[in-house]
Structure 1
């Protein structure tokens, strides 16, 4: 069995009023990838997109910090994470192996802002779809970062905050926490 872990730390906490934090673990055993994410102090009672991001060429992804706020609006939005973290790769939704990112099948936090997510994914199916999406790239978990996204729609975001994905606006895609995946 091979294990990986990410300690997830807050991002954009000062602006959103939540210091979202938690852990993510990934265990590979035979042909299964078990994903477990435990989050705390996220905005309550809303859906939170969560994914791992990275570079298809295998370049080492790093976590974004407030240093990535290139336009100086006080927020690190999804496009501002890309230079250090790469692109959105695998969603942690109802069916990660399908690699269907924009949908409404992500965890919803409880009234305290907590949520748990666990999925057992057929590794061969995930790897096959990953290679199709990213030109024969490999998962390489230890070169990826985990992002947790999502703030309430009543939070006033400046027009400079970007991150629209299909019908979903920056409230859905704004990163609230991030962690570097490392071999355990």
Structure 2
């Protein structure tokens, strides 16, 4: 049995960062693999872009963040501000999503035009087992998740109020630049 999911990814924080990052993600779930394709346009150029799906472990339907989530009114929706509507970071779209090792340098890097394409076949059982270990269920519930694409150049001056440091990575790495609701395709 095959299930397909699509997310139309729209800009977030574009007024501040100066680009309107957008694209599409498709997730095709078969018996033994999850095929992921993400293509992004107009992202900050020559920048590594963390990308993940976020959600609520208890199964609540996640929604995308909007500027309404800018609680400290600094003009940016940072990673912690997304959590109220989107939940927590769950699965990274890096070189090994099934390991669910979020902080690393193995994410796509945009080209000089702000474009990148990510494509990966993930062993579904391995991902489900790790997901169950971390979140208590092996059901990915993709249609209850949202995708985020993160990352701005270190040269972009961010207000001190922007939060989102993860390990050795600062808010430049974790600042959301685009988001989309994952929906089951007809």
* TM-score for both structures, normalised by structure 2: 0.98
Q: CA deviation at 1:106?
A: 0.1
Aligned runs of 1:100-179 on 2, under 5 Å? 100-136=101-137, 138-179=139-180
Structure 2 partner of 1:39: 40
C-alpha deviation, 1:137, in angstroms: 5.2
What whole-Å deviation, never above 9, does each CA across 1:63-122 have from its counterpart, x for those lacking one?
000000000000000000000000000000000000000000000000000000000001
Whether the 8 Å CA contact 1:58–1:137 is kept in 2: the answer is no
Give the conservation status (yes or no) of the 8 Å contact 2:129–2:138: no
Please report the TM-score for the alignment, with normalisation by the length of structure 1: 0.99
My pick for the range that moved more, 127-136 or 87-96, is: 127-136
Q: Give the 3-state SS of the residue equivalent to 1:88 in structure 2.
A: strand
Corresponding residue pairs, total? 184
Aligned-residue offset at 1:29: 1.5
Equivalent position SS for 1:181? strand
Following superposition, the deviation at residue 182 of structure 1 comes to 0.1
Structure 1 stretch 71-80 or stretch 132-141: which is displaced more?
132-141
Rounded to whole Å, the distance in 2 between the matches of 1:116 and 1:155 is 23
* Counterpart in the other structure of 1:27: 28
Higher deviation after alignment, 132-141 or 32-41:
132-141
CA contact (8 A) 1:57 1:137 kept: no
Please tell me whether residue 181 in structure 1 is matched to residue 145 in structure 2.
no
Instruction: Write out per-residue CA displacement over residues 129-180 of structure 1, whole angstroms, 9 at most, x where no aligned residue.
Output: 0010112252000000000000000111111000000000000000000000
- Alpha-carbon separation, structure 2, partners of 1:15 and 1:152: 13
RMSD value over aligned CA atoms?
0.6
- Are 2:63 and 2:146, in contact at CA under 8 Å, matched by a contact in 1? yes
Q: Is contact 1:147–1:177 with CA below 8 Å preserved after alignment?
A: yes
Distance in 1 (CA, whole Å) between partners of 2:76 and 2:9 is 18
Deviation at 1:48, TM superposition (A): 0.2
Whole-angstrom distance in 2 between the partners of 1:179 and 1:137: 23
C-alpha distance after superposition, 1:13-55 (max 9, x if no partner):
0000010000000001221100000000000001000000000
